[in-house]
Amino acid sequence: MSDETKKYVIECENLVKIYKTNEIEVVALQGLDLLVEKGELMAIIGNSGSGKSTLLNMLGGLDRPSAGKLIVDGKDLLKFTDAQLVKYKRETVGFVWQNNARNLIPYLTALENVELPMIFSRGAKRRQRASELLEKVGLSHRKNSKLSQLSGGEQQRVAIAIALANNPVLLLADEPTGSVDTKTSDMILDIFRELNRTMGVTIVIVTHDRQLSRKVDRVVAIRDGRTSSEFIRKKSYSEELDQLNSGIMNLKQDEDTHVEFAVVDRAGRVQIPREYLESLGLKGKDKLKVELDGDRIVLLSPDKSSVKDESVKTEDVKINSGTLTV
């Protein structure tokens, strides 16, 4: 395995997922590409139906791709047997759900809930490990409390400790702040950041909340089953936080913290933001004029042209659901 391959915990290439019933066929992922580096803390955003939850389920071993390439921690998930998939879910990946009913057993204490995934792996040491994890999420004082005695934020912190019980390489969080208030949401994200820093676990958070992008260095947007754009922080969050705390900088609430990049997939497709198309009065099936002008690709409404030089290459292309093939 090359050094280039080793640096990535997640490698998705031309990933396709098709759900079929007797009467209908739904394409949830349409050739998605994604690379996530080891030790990265990143977010995936997208509207309902964009494919982000489908991707998360496949990364977690809860669903299988229809086609493409999916490698996590050097393991090819498309070649897994059922037994290998069970082992993968138990040892490689941890899951935090928005719905705490999927994370916690109500008649057990917080400590007993965290111990549960370790019954077959850690033996007598599981209680010590569970206590350490509850301390990491700031809940050592609530270890003997049951579900009904914990707030929503506390329950979610127990869920994070459970997900880390078997020391996974990859932690997946599905809308982890979706059912808590802003203050608790910030606390949970701070816990993820601290765990990422101290334990080195790679964390992928799937969310509807675009404000979350202010708290992570990289955000990948998914639209219509493909990665459409990436938002990369201008300055790392930890650097920015240090400067804010020291009074060196004053970040306004509406100030841009990230730079947006459109993603060109391996087939040369790029998704154009809907608001850009709307500003030109274009719809999903319209044509668009594309010009190569030096080191720039210029997109123009079909009835306009900025060509002033015969050396500039011009081509008409068709837009399909906001996706342009260049």
Question: At residue 47, does pLDDT exceed 90?
Answer: no
Largest CA distance in the chain: 77
Pick the closest to residue 154 from 211, 103, 95 (CA basis).
103
Question: At residue 276, does pLDDT exceed 90?
Answer: no
Query: Which pLDDT belongs to residue 208?
Result: 79
Q: CA geometry: angle at 21 spanning 267 and 13, to 5°?
A: 25
pLDDT in tens, 234-246: 766 666 556 555 6
Query: Which pLDDT belongs to residue 312?
Result: 46
What is the token pair recorded at 55?
């991707």
The domains found in the chain, sorted by start residue, are 3-92+168-262 (3.40.50.300), 272-325 (no CATH)
Strands 202-207 and 170-174: parallel
Q: Which helix (H) or strand (E) holds 14?
A: strand 8-20
**pTM surpassing 0.85?**
no
Mapping DSSP onto H, E and C, the string for the chain reads CCHHHHCEEEEEEEEEEEEECCCCEEEEEEEEEEEEECCCEEEEECCCCCCHHHHHHHHCCCCCCCEEEEEECCEEHHHCCHHHHHHHHHHCEEEECCCHHHCCCCCCEHHHHHHHHHCCCCHHHHHHHHHHHHHHCCCHHHCCCEHHHCCHHHHHHHHHHHHCCCCCCEEEEECCCCCCCHHHHHHHHHHHHHHHHHHCCEEEEEECCHHHHHHCCEEEEEECCEEEEEEEECCCHHHHHHHHHHCCCCCCCCCCCEEEEECECCCCEEECCHHHHHHCCCCCCCEEEEEEECCEEEEECCCCCCCCCCCCEEEEEECECCEEEC
Question: At residue 265, does pLDDT exceed 70?
Answer: yes
> In angstroms, rounded to a whole number, what is the distance separating the alpha carbons of residues 204 and 36?
9
Question: At residue 302, does pLDDT exceed 80?
Answer: no
Question: At residue 248, does pLDDT exceed 70?
Answer: no
Query: Which pLDDT belongs to residue 34?
Result: 93
pLDDT in tens, 59-89: 999 999 999 999 999 999 999 999 999 999 9
Q: What percent of the chain has pLDDT over 70?
A: 79
Is-contact 72 87, C-beta < 8 A?
A: no
- CA torsion angle for 211, 212, 213, 215 (degrees, to 10)? 120
Q: Which helix (H) or strand (E) holds 174?
A: strand 170-174
What is the token pair recorded at 61?
């071993």
Question: At residue 114, does pLDDT exceed 90?
Answer: yes
* Distances, alpha carbon 319 to alpha carbons 30, 216, 273, 294, in Å: 16, 32, 12, 23
Residues contacting 251, CB < 8 A, separation 6+: 240, 244, 257
What is the token pair recorded at 296?
């720039």
The number of angstroms, rounded, from the C-alpha of 195 to the middle of its chain's C-alpha atoms is 17
Selected residue with higher pLDDT from 299 and 119: 119
Query: Which pLDDT belongs to residue 15?
Result: 93
* Distances, alpha carbon 233 to alpha carbons 68, 203, 279, in Å: 29, 17, 26
Q: What is the mean pLDDT of the chain?
A: 81
Question: At residue 316, does pLDDT exceed 60?
Answer: no
Provide the residue count of the chain: 326
Query: Which pLDDT belongs to residue 8?
Result: 93
pLDDT band at 196 (very low <50, low <70, confident <90, very high): very high
